[in-house]
Structure 1
Amino acid sequence: MSEIEELLKQVEELHLSMIKIKKGNSLTDQRIMIESQILDIILNNYQEVLMKKVNQN
Structure 2
Amino acid sequence: MPVNEIERKRQQLIKTALHYGINSTKTIQCSQELDLLLLQEIKELNKETIKENSRNV
TM-score interval w.r.t. the shorter chain? 0.7 to 0.9
Distance 2:25 2:33 in 1: 12
Which runs of no fewer than 5 residues in structure 1 stay unpaired? none
Larger Rg, first or second structure (1 or 2) = 2
TM-score normalised to the size of structure 1? 0.78
The answer for unaligned runs of 5 or more in structure 2 is 53-57
Percent identity over the alignment is 19
Root mean square deviation of aligned Cα: 1.2
Which among 18, 28, 31 is matched to residue 26 of structure 2?
Answer: 31
Normalising by structure 2, what TM-score? Answer: 0.78
